[in-house]
Amino acid sequence: MKKINPSPSCLVGYRSTCPIANVLDIVGDKWTLLVVRDLLLSGKRRYGEFQSSPESIPTNILADRLKRLEAAGLVKKEFYQNNPPRAEYFITRKGAELGPVLQEMAQWGQKYIPGVIIPSQFNQPEIRD
Amino acid sequence: MKKINPSPSCLVGYRSTCPIANVLDIVGDKWTLLVVRDLLLSGKRRYGEFQSSPESIPTNILADRLKRLEAAGLVKKEFYQNNPPRAEYFITRKGAELGPVLQEMAQWGQKYIPGVIIPSQFNQPEIRD
DNA sequence: ACTAAGACTTGTAAATTGCAAGTCACAGAC
DNA sequence: GTCTGTGACTTGCAATTTACAAGTCTTAGT
């Protein structure tokens, strides 16, 4: 009796074939999407800029999330000087296309969470792949 | 000198006034939105049904998430028998309006995560408030 | 009486988070 | 030329959260 693996090899180790579950494995936590928000909506690029956001992300978490976002291909890290090493982070096309997810979240939040404030203007991000 | 609290009282204790940050405080983890998915897209209502989803959520996490979702007003718990106590869970209007967020996630996942499978048909949920 | 099912709770080990502190190289002030 | 500060991190550790296993409690079926 032959047994056929029901999930394609590229999803080995994943929780399921559900797209939502797989997206959550990338951005399903309290911080990752806030970094994407800063890159995408606030035009931030540098470590210190992310730290200065009002949620005050812990520095080790920020370092970790930038690494993961880069590994997932949502963020491109580019050094603008070698010594000491200093980098800027850019959102990729893949990362930028999470924009609609953020938008829908913001809309829902605006409707159901009293007191939240949607900024009146957004900075446009530079996309690099 | 009088000091004016910049954030409205309803957001005291929250990370910021950003709608995205506040939404993430409710659904920003690996499991919560999967329960919402089951309620909203698969029409599931009972504890055992959520457990039978392919991601196999740990039972204590499921109990916790259902409690939090109810506390946040996204889910309504209704007992259909007293002894032993047996309940069904329904999505509320507030919870159902997370649908577009899930949809955008699913679309992104379908585009960027090879191997995921979007189900061809969805069950319609019953909304109760 | 025995077994099973549904909806949980409890215990515990592993992983993740959050806070503080330390590092390393340069830049400017005195 | 030492002193202080800044940017971008890394490291250590306590607290919280997660994952897995096992136990509970009541009724239904054989």
CB-based contacts of A5: which residues, under 8 Å, 6+ apart? Answer: none
Region B30-35: mean pLDDT is 96
Whether the predicted pLDDT of A116 surpasses 90: yes
Report the percent of chain A where pLDDT is more than 70. 91
Q: How far apart are CA A98 and CA A125, in angstroms?
A: 13
Q: Is some CB atom of chain B closer than 8 A to the CB atom of A24?
A: yes
Q: What is the pTM of this model?
A: 0.90
Which bases in strand C are touched by protein, i.e. have an atom under 7 Å from a CB? 6-11, 16-21, 24-26
Q: How far apart are CA B95 and CA B39, in angstroms?
A: 9
Q: Residue A105, Cβ neighbours under 10 Å: how many?
A: 25
Q: How far apart are CA A125 and CA A35, in angstroms?
A: 13
What's the Å distance between residue A48 CA and nucleotide D8 C1'? 8
Question: Are B33 and A24 in contact (CB < 8 Å)?
Answer: yes
Region A32-47: mean pLDDT is 96
Q: Are the beta carbons of A69 and A36 closer than 8 angstroms?
A: yes
**CB environment A22-31: b (16+ within 10 A), e (fewer):** bbbbbbbbbb
